[in-house]
Amino acid sequence: MSTVVETDVLIVGSGPAGASAALALSTYGVPNIVVTRYASLADTPRAHITNQRTMEVLRDLGVEQDVVAQATPQHLMGNTTFCTSLAGEELGRVRSWGNDPLVQAAHELASPTRMCDMPQHLMEPVLVNAAVARGTRLRFETEYLSHSQDADGVTATVRDRLRGDTYEIRAKYLIGADGGRSKVAADAGLPMGGQMGVAGSINIVFEADLTRYTAHRPSTLYWVLAPGATVGGIGAGLVRCVRPWTEWLIVWGYDVTAGAPDLTTEYAEGIVRGLIGDDRIPVTVKSSSAWTVNEMYAERYSDGRVFCAGDAVHRHPPSNGLGSNTSIQDAYNLAWKLRLVLDGTAHPRLLDSYSAERAPIGRQIVTRANQSIRETAPVFEALDGLSPQTPEQLWANIAARKDTGEAAEKQRAALREAIAFKVYEFNAHGVDLNQRYPAESSAAIVPDGTPDPGFARDPELHHQPSSRPGARLPHAWITSGTRTLSTLDTVGRGRFTLLTGIGGEGWVRAAESQELEIATVVIGPGQEYEDPYGDWARLSEISEAGALLVRPDGFVAFRHASTAPDAGELLADALRRILGHV
Ligand code: FDA
């Protein structure tokens, strides 16, 4: 007879989505179990770019410094280089990941956190260890097989791969964070758009001391334009730094219609040697694996009591580094909602806002990542390297850019322009930080009647803060006594927070009179928090006596521009809507 284990939330998968869901739920005190198919966490580097929004999430969950301690810092990430091989000719660079001085300033103004490079095999243990320390029960070698749901919960059947037997886990909710081949999403019948298997790619993990070719132009990514580099893959050959400057991962394409090549060590070494371009360097291949570029997203992220997150619902190439970032952000959006529904504070209707808010983001990032692959073609075009040709012709075209004369000058200009355009992949600050949840689609956001401010500059490249409901709370440095902290540090920790200023006493009383615990933050001279630089006054978009109600995930849920005699009622009405009671 099979055993039945009970919990509040069952999470399938211990990747970035599942691990961060577990971490957030355990931080909020929600009992949860994680089952994961394999005997270990990720054993290869996989996703690595960790953007500011994710670092803010990790800061709230108390693991930011654990990540910073192990990650490659931002200043070593930023010289994305295009070359014929690491030892070969350099074709150009893009200042990336916030390392362009202007973008660097924008990064500093936007967030208390810094972007970093945290390979997935290092990130997962940070998330999982913290989750387990806070109460998550984790079962390795346990495979999700199926689920059924009824009015009160979900029953999942799992297989213990060590013993070979199956048992049931009864949970109130199920999170499918089981990656790009998600069985949970398939079993839940989530409608998917787009296409799987657009192109073929190979990852090769290897060790080699490449200091002499990389330390003078420190970067996370070195792109290699060489014969065969346009076949499949992610736009060109890629040498990615895992640990400066001795651990690496190469991404190389294959023709998906011909099937994956036989990944022998000799085959992998041949690719590695070609991309390094210096046979004197000792190389140790650690592993290689084939995968496909996908362009697929779920139109809906949930079915009843089943919610999917991460690659289960958005499947895309690594371009722009959005994989684990979006997965962690999905989980963070979902966890506080589950907590409030489980403890009876919110109506289950609140959970509908998960799909309403996150599915459009998923679709956007899938499209962006695939678009970034296509935007590498002009780099080859500038070298006349897209038309079928022999390797000798490609090398001759590349060499031609060094000639005198009008044609060569034109070629150099086209190459510069095509490489510079890659900022949409390597410096897209807006893609990282401009996520907004419109009140028209999410019931967990209360419209304040103001028009959508849109974006004054390219929304993919430039971050534009806003305190309009549905936007992430703008970051400003404020002080409390001798302490300097971010406005974002005053929110989170699983609670709603009301921010106001001098004259906002009515809002503070209103917050204190609600049944739901709401933290209050008063910013102004002589208050607990002060705004010595005047940054908050510039960014808050409300008068000092106005109020912002911020959700546990740092998004503004309700805004009132000034003082209000009926603040208590306004806030109560807003909370009823946000918590799904109307
Ligand atoms: P993820 O795939 O990380 O995790 C899924 C989890 O579910 C795993 O723990 C797995 O064991 C578990 N699972 C699956 N089926 C299960 C079942 N039936 N029962 C129990 N558990 C089950 N991204 C990037 O930006 N740069 C890169 O270079 C790479 N490279 C890369 C290489 C390889 C080999 C892979 C597989 C993926 C990448 N990625 C990547 C993508 C990146 O890793 C991905 O976007 C994130 O890991 C997504 O996180 P998730 O948690 O959603 O899924």
Give the pLDDT confidence of 146-168 residue by residue, as tens digits.
999 999 999 999 999 999 999 99
> Is residue 553 one of the residues assigned to a domain?
yes
Mutate to test the pocket of ligand 1, among 10, 20, 36 (most ligand atoms within 8 A of CB): 36
| Pocket lining: 120 vs ligand 1, CB cutoff 6 Å | yes
The span from the CA of 164 to the CA of 375, in Å, is: 48
| Pocket lining: 289 vs ligand 1, CB cutoff 6 Å | yes
User: What's the confidence (pLDDT) of residue 97?
Assistant: 97
In this structure, what is the dihedral angle of CA atoms 435, 440, 445, 448, given to the nearest 10 degrees? Answer: 110
> Is residue 405 one of the residues assigned to a domain?
yes
Q: Which residues constitute the domain of residue 478?
A: 466-578
Domain count, the chain: 3
When mean pLDDT is compared across 50-54, 76-80, 224-228, 533-537, the lowest value belongs to 224-228
ipTM of this complex prediction, to 2 decimal places: 0.97
Cβ neighbours for 380, distance < 8 A, ≥ 6 positions apart: 225, 229, 230, 236, 386
* 34, 100, 344, 447 from 135: Cα distances, Å: 11, 42, 21, 37
Cβ neighbours for 138, distance < 8 A, ≥ 6 positions apart: 14, 22, 33, 34, 36, 128, 131, 132
- 15 CA → ligand 1 middle, Å: 6
Does 170 lie in the same domain as 135?
A: yes
Give the pLDDT confidence of 207-232 residue by residue, as tens digits.
999 999 999 999 999 999 988 888 88
Does 570 lie in the same domain as 491?
A: yes
Give the pLDDT confidence of 116-132 residue by residue, as tens digits.
999 999 999 999 999 99
- 225 CA → ligand 1 middle, Å: 28
- 131 with 19: CB under 8 angstroms? yes
Does 358 lie in the same domain as 381?
A: no
**270 three-class SS:** helix
Mutate to test the pocket of ligand 1, among 35, 97, 196, 324 (most ligand atoms within 8 A of CB): 324
Does 396 lie in the same domain as 317?
A: no
When mean pLDDT is compared across 231-235, 360-364, 409-413, the lowest value belongs to 231-235
Q: Please compute the mean of the pLDDT values over residues 291-297 and round it to a whole number.
A: 95
- 425 with 454: CB under 8 angstroms? no
Give the pLDDT confidence of 72-101 residue by residue, as tens digits.
999 999 999 999 999 999 999 999 999 999
- 168 CA → ligand 1 middle, Å: 24
- 158 with 145: CB under 8 angstroms? yes
Return the ligand 1 atom nearest residue 178 CA.
7
User: What's the confidence (pLDDT) of residue 289?
Assistant: 96
User: What's the confidence (pLDDT) of residue 49?
Assistant: 98
Give the pLDDT confidence of 12-22 residue by residue, as tens digits.
999 999 999 99
> Is residue 97 one of the residues assigned to a domain?
no
Beta-strand runs (E) in 38-160: 49-50, 72-73, 79-83, 90-95, 116-117, 137-139, 142-149, 154-160
Return the ligand 1 atom nearest residue 312 CA.
52
| Pocket lining: 310 vs ligand 1, CB cutoff 6 Å | yes
394 or 518, greater pLDDT: 518
Q: Whose CA is nearest to atom 3 of ligand 1?
A: 15
| Pocket lining: 147 vs ligand 1, CB cutoff 6 Å | no
> Is residue 205 one of the residues assigned to a domain?
no
Q: Please compute the mean of the pLDDT values over residues 298-305 and round it to a whole number.
A: 98
| Pocket lining: 178 vs ligand 1, CB cutoff 6 Å | yes
User: What's the confidence (pLDDT) of residue 387?
Assistant: 72
Give the pLDDT confidence of 461-500 residue by residue, as tens digits.
999 999 999 999 999 999 999 999 999 999 999 999 999 9
| Pocket lining: 176 vs ligand 1, CB cutoff 6 Å | no
Among residues 362, 388, 421, which one ends one of the domains?
Answer: 421
> Is residue 242 one of the residues assigned to a domain?
no
> Is residue 111 one of the residues assigned to a domain?
no
User: What's the confidence (pLDDT) of residue 371?
Assistant: 96
Q: What band does 385 get if pLDDT is binned at 50, 70 and 90?
A: confident
Among residues 311, 346, 371, which one ends one of the domains?
Answer: 371
CATH number at residue 558: 3.40.30.120
| Pocket lining: 366 vs ligand 1, CB cutoff 6 Å | no
- pLDDT at 239 exceeding the cut of 80: yes
The span from the CA of 143 to the CA of 264, in Å, is: 29
Does 385 lie in the same domain as 315?
A: no
Helix (H) or strand (E) holding 2: none
Does 357 lie in the same domain as 391?
A: no
Does 189 lie in the same domain as 172?
A: yes
User: What's the confidence (pLDDT) of residue 2?
Assistant: 62
CATH number at residue 67: 3.50.50.60
Does 535 lie in the same domain as 391?
A: no
> Is residue 514 one of the residues assigned to a domain?
yes
Does 386 lie in the same domain as 364?
A: no
Does 343 lie in the same domain as 483?
A: no
Return the ligand 1 atom nearest residue 324 CA.
46
User: What's the confidence (pLDDT) of residue 235?
Assistant: 85
Does 361 lie in the same domain as 306?
A: yes
228 or 305, greater pLDDT: 305
- 272 CA → ligand 1 middle, Å: 24
Mutate to test the pocket of ligand 1, among 178, 234, 247 (most ligand atoms within 8 A of CB): 178
Q: What proportion of the chain, given as a percentage, has pLDDT over 70? A: 99
| Pocket lining: 372 vs ligand 1, CB cutoff 6 Å | no
> Is residue 433 one of the residues assigned to a domain?
no
User: What's the confidence (pLDDT) of residue 388?
Assistant: 64
When mean pLDDT is compared across 292-296, 339-343, 392-396, 514-518, the lowest value belongs to 392-396
User: What's the confidence (pLDDT) of residue 357?
Assistant: 98
Average pLDDT, the chain: 96
Q: Is the peptide bond before 395 cis (omega within 30 degrees of 0)?
A: no
Does 413 lie in the same domain as 364?
A: no
- pLDDT at 1 exceeding the cut of 60: no
- pLDDT at 298 exceeding the cut of 50: yes
Q: Please compute the mean of the pLDDT values over residues 41-62 and round it to a whole number.
A: 97
- pLDDT at 421 exceeding the cut of 80: yes
